Amino acid sequence: LTDPATWRDLAWLLLNGTLGLVATLLPTALFAEGVHNLLVPYYWRYVPDDFDMWVDAVHVTDQASAYWTIPQGILFLFLFWALSPHILRGYAHTARWLLAPTEKSRLTARVEHLATSRADTVDAQASEVRRIERDLHDGAQARLVALGMSLGMAEQLLDRDPASAQRMLAEARESTHQALTEIRTLVRGIHPPVLVERGLDGAVRALAVTQHLPVTVDITLPGRPADPVESATYFAIAELLTNAAKHAHANRAWVRINHGQGRLVIVVGDDGTGGANPTSGTGLAGIRRRLAAFDGTITTVSPPGGPTIVTMELPCALSSPKISPSSAMD
């Protein structure tokens, strides 16, 4: 009982049982009475002669007096047309005022959401750093260590066995190429160069070409989002397209991106087997955490048998098409 929201709910119950009933019945009564007045000239003659017939303010005794109900009916219909929107809108505003969360509760929910999204973002960043460290340790670093050993051995064999030294130098050159390729792949996984050069539109179209299934791309963006938003969107789309081919066994997929009312809306769908579950380890939970850092949302519709449609929304502004997002933020 100490919670103000409880008293607001009780007040709404009382209001809904009285004012709500009036606000619902009054427009209906005005409309019904207007139609009734318009019909009086057609049925009054069937009323028994001994019945003293009054229709609101009109005393109906003959055909001439029955016609006076027509202006009265028009008045009722006009009142219905003029008052109903104001009555229902006033009732809706009053109900919203009583039922809507208070400013304090909104701030509390906002703080909880920010705390959760911040923790998820920290976890995601820590996981990404560990992945980069692991890839460097197991890939490029190991090859560079092997390269140093090969060059040392080639240096020792250069005078005694030039042929073996030459062979080891060739192997070292090949290891250099492989290490460079792995580093480029790692950098591409952090922030793809195509995203910097061509923006989200070009990067998603290039991504679609590399997939193992046909992907239809429809993008309408009058500008570019900020770099972090572009990156989060790109990797979310890449994850969903990978899921479509790997888990859903889809034959085709589609990507639609547009911007309106300050929100970037991304829809990714496929005609696969469906049944995607955000908690079953298909990557949807990771996408949700990635988008939560930008107050983004993700909605998944994936009935068994398909199709799967994932809708993502991120609040963001677009820079001018001729201005890069980074320069627009300076």
pLDDT digits (tens, 9 = 90+) for 244-300: 888 888 899 999 999 988 899 999 999 988 888 777 655 788 888 888 878 888 899
User: Residue 210 corresponds to which amino acid?
Assistant: T
Of 100, 129, 146, which closes a domain? 100
Does residue 243 share a domain with residue 177?
no
* Average of per-residue pLDDT values in the chain: 80
Does residue 172 share a domain with residue 141?
yes
Does residue 314 share a domain with residue 197?
yes
Can you tell me whether residue 220 is helix, strand or coil? strand
Q: Tokens 């979310």 appear where?
A: 236
Q: Domain range holding 153?
A: 109-190
Q: How many helices (H) and strands (E) does the chain have?
A: 10, 7
Whether the CB-CB separation of 288 and 311 falls below 8 Å is answered with: no
Q: Calculate ∠ Cα 17-18-23, nearest 5°.
A: 105
Does residue 294 share a domain with residue 197?
yes
Lowest mean pLDDT among 44-53, 164-173, 178-187: 178-187
Does residue 173 share a domain with residue 89?
no
Of 190, 222, 237, which closes a domain? 190
Of 74, 100, 126, which closes a domain? 100
Among 107-116, 145-154, 214-223, 311-320, top mean pLDDT goes to 214-223
Q: What is the mean pLDDT of residues 28-51?
A: 86
Does residue 157 share a domain with residue 76?
no
Does residue 65 share a domain with residue 77?
yes
Whether the CB-CB separation of 295 and 123 falls below 8 Å is answered with: no
Residues in CB range of 190: below 8 A, 6 or more apart:
132
d(CA 231, CA 294): 12
d(CA 298, CA 321): 26
Confidence of residue 216 (pLDDT cuts 50, 70, 90): very high
> Which residue in 76, 73, 71, 75 sits closest to 30, CA to CA?
76
If one compares 18 and 243, the residue with the highest pLDDT of the two is 243
d(CA 171, CA 101): 68
Q: What is the mean pLDDT of residues 200-206?
A: 90
Does residue 249 share a domain with residue 313?
yes
The answer on pLDDT for 18 being more than 80 is: no
Does residue 208 share a domain with residue 285?
yes
d(CA 217, CA 253): 9
pLDDT of residue 32: 92
pLDDT of residue 310: 93
Q: What is the mean pLDDT of residues 221-239?
A: 87
Q: What is the mean pLDDT of residues 185-195?
A: 68
If one compares 60 and 259, the residue with the highest pLDDT of the two is 259
Phi, psi torsion values for 319, nearest 5 degrees: -85, 170
Number of domains observed in the structure of the chain: 3
**Cα 251 → chain centroid:** 25
Among 117-126, 156-165, 201-210, top mean pLDDT goes to 201-210
Does residue 324 share a domain with residue 218?
yes
Does residue 318 share a domain with residue 197?
yes
Does residue 118 share a domain with residue 96?
no
The answer on pLDDT for 231 being more than 70 is: yes
Sign (positive or negative) of CA dihedral 291, 269, 251, 213: negative
